[in-house]
Structure 1
């Protein structure tokens, strides 16, 4: 896998993935686009959500929605690494079993989400979930 990041001027950068997709990053606190650290949170949430939805679909759960609220705290030194990240999954559907959601979230965190597994060495990642009946 390969990627390229190009400086656009000021504090804006454009990342281009091997598949040709682009993403603008803003080093100025995310004023015009996500900052690189915000992109890490989004990547973690995206990776985890893909797993959770896939696992719930395979378990034949009638889900119609999934979103994850992600909060991260960073250390007060340079570099300002993430110290803790919490993912709160909100699953919407009819008759969705909590045991299946719990299993899906745990499998993503412990086995499948590459982003979470990379971050786990340095970051305390926690998660929980809620189910909203549709």
Structure 2
């Protein structure tokens, strides 16, 4: 990846999908911590989705909520990311989803990239459709 400095604040890169603007100020682009949290949350979500499909579970939707805990005394360092999945579907097995969550954490490259430096906590809830 290559990044170019913007005239006012921040940097940008052009990717196959489009332009990505990154800056410490949200008025000029995505903040770096937002991209890090998003990468972990969406990587986990994608892995979870694939695993649930392989388990042949009838999943209709996965909603992800991610929050970061930061240490203001250490340059606003991200210390913990909490990722909560709301999984909607039919006849969902709590036991199978727990197993899928374990596999997700082991197989998400973004989570594995921060092991030992950022605590990642993943939780879930099930919404049963009739």
| 1:38 aligned onto 2:34 | yes
CA distance in 2, matches of 1:24, 1:10: 12
Note the alpha carbon deviations across 1:74-117, whole angstroms, 9 max, x for none.
Answer: 111243211111110111111111112111122111x2111111
Indicate the RMSD between aligned Cα atoms, in angstroms.
Answer: 1.6
Shift of the 53–20 alpha-carbon distance from structure 1 to 2, 3 Å rule, reads closer
Partner residue, 2:22 = 25
What does residue range 1-134 of structure 1 map to in structure 2 within 5 Å? 3-17=1-15, 19=16, 21-28=18-25, 30-109=26-105, 111-134=106-129
Shift of the 21–104 alpha-carbon distance from structure 1 to 2, 3 Å rule, reads farther
Moved more, 74-83 or 93-102: 74-83
User: Normalised by the size of structure 1, how large is the TM-score?
Assistant: 0.87
Offset at 1:122? 0.6
Structure 2 alignment gaps of length 5 or more: none
Is residue 51–residue 104 contact of structure 1 (8 Å, CA) maintained in 2? no
Offset at 1:20? 5.9
Note the alpha carbon deviations across 1:24-79, whole angstroms, 9 max, x for none.
Answer: 22311x23432011010111111001110000000000001112100111111243
Structure 1 alignment gaps of length 5 or more: none
User: Normalised by the size of structure 2, how large is the TM-score?
Assistant: 0.89
